[in-house]
Structure 1
């Protein structure tokens, strides 16, 4: 049955609830966010890399620091709602994913990064997985934009984990503590991204992000 109300109309309510929810969470940082914020302030391109299942806490943490971000959102109906929520909390959004509209979204994000000096936010294993397996999009964007990739992980002390979802999506409980782990900047090779070179860069980024497991 088709709903008589467009779900996107609920974006103001959802964004308001998100802001309130995030204000209750006590983030504890391992690593220094001021370092990549300073890189961005100097006009240098930055990409924040995260796993798809950690979107909620990492986006929440980012909201406590800055809204100077451009985020990738799928072209699905659900994506329309997510895009409107993100835009209400200050993000620019580009619509596309590895399965649909990906190249156009990458080029659009690059233009926004250059024109508005926004940091890109990229779910490395999204939108459909496999979980914790880096795809090529973030590597291509980083090389094209000359950007440093900053890996960020989130470990809420108490949370709801959706075990049946491919990404094991995590929603922190209100009033919990959440450890945020910020890795060292990752630089992509200058070699042409074909075949084994691209695969090698994806594997390097995967390991770089998985190495943050030790800070849990």
Structure 2
């Protein structure tokens, strides 16, 4: 699978992006080796791939650092911003074996079209539904629109860690997992979005996805406390 938008390969990114991408991936690999992990619902992703059911994994922006190493080895197309921080994330995607598509921060319809072209060729795509700038835990309509237009399923995902550092100064309250912690990854049931969804129906579906992600967060937190 290759991205038709032809996102820049790592060798074309800045030295800053490649350096911090390497540092981030190296640190996460070291941390991951110390984690005690619990996975729930991971078989759902395998079944969707086996049955060739394209889908978009959706999650909160605050969770993306922890998710990076947990899903490596899967043919995931990751949507990230066309910005200096997005360059670092895209470089990390390369190093974890993911494909990335970088989207202009405020491109609106153009950005959605770029994601649509990339996701149309991806059996497994992913996006933070409140990213890249928030508001916090506010589901944007893009994921619902893309799923409806492309015929992709929506797969909600959450992860919780027993101990982490929360960057409370950031809009997303980003979680940085620490070493020797317990981690619970929870994959929710796929959501089938109707085709040709009208604009007036989008708010109810975004609310449904919001509620499902919040419930998954609670489930992941309960599981990690039980480990």
Task: Provide the TM-score with structure 1 as the length reference.
Answer: 0.86
Determine the C-alpha separation between the residues in 1 that align with 2:37 and 2:113. Answer: 33
Q: Report the alpha carbon displacement of residue 192 of structure 1 after superposing the two structures with TM.
A: 2.9
Distance change in 2, residues 1:167/1:136 (3 Å): same
Distance 1:75 1:173, change over 3 A: same
CA contact under 8 A between 2:58 and 2:126: conserved in structure 1? yes
Residue deviations 1:91-123 (CA, integer Å, cap 9, x gap): 1111115x43354454444444444x4411110
**Is contact 1:72–1:94 with CA below 8 Å preserved after alignment?**
yes
Classify the secondary structure of the residue corresponding to 2:71: helix
Decide whether aligned partners of structure 1 residues 211 and 13 sit closer, same or farther in structure 2, where only a CA change above 3 A counts. Answer: closer
1:54: how far off?
0.5
2:140 matched to 1:135? Answer: yes
Is 1:27 matched with 2:27? Answer: no
How far apart, in 2, do the equivalents of 1:89 and 1:163 lie?
27
Residues 1-216 of structure 1 correspond to what in structure 2 (within 5 A)? 6-10=15-19, 11-30=21-40, 32-63=41-72, 66-96=73-103, 99-115=105-121, 117-194=122-199, 196-215=200-219, 216=221
Mark the CA change 1:36 to 1:15 in structure 2 (over 3 Å): closer, same or farther: same
Q: Are the counterparts in 2 of residues 47 and 142 from structure 1 also a CA contact under 8 Å?
A: yes
Tell me how far 1:159 sits from its aligned partner: 0.4
Cα distance change, pair 38–104 in 1 and its aligned pair in 2 (3 A): farther
TM-fit CA distance, 1:140? 1.2
Give the superposed CA RMSD: 2.0
For residues 120-176 of structure 1, what are the alpha-carbon distances to aligned partners after superposition, in whole Å with 9 as ceiling and x for unaligned? 111011111111110011111111221111111111000001112111100111111
Q: Which runs of 5+ in 2 are unaligned?
A: 1-13, 222-227
The answer to whether the 8 A contact 1:27-1:177 is kept is: yes
C-alpha contact (below 8 Å) 2:148/2:196 kept by paired residues: no
Q: For the residues of structure 2 that align with 1:202 and 1:89, how far apart are their CA atoms?
A: 30
Query: What is the rounded CA distance, in whole Å, between the counterparts of 1:182 and 1:55 in structure 2?
Result: 14
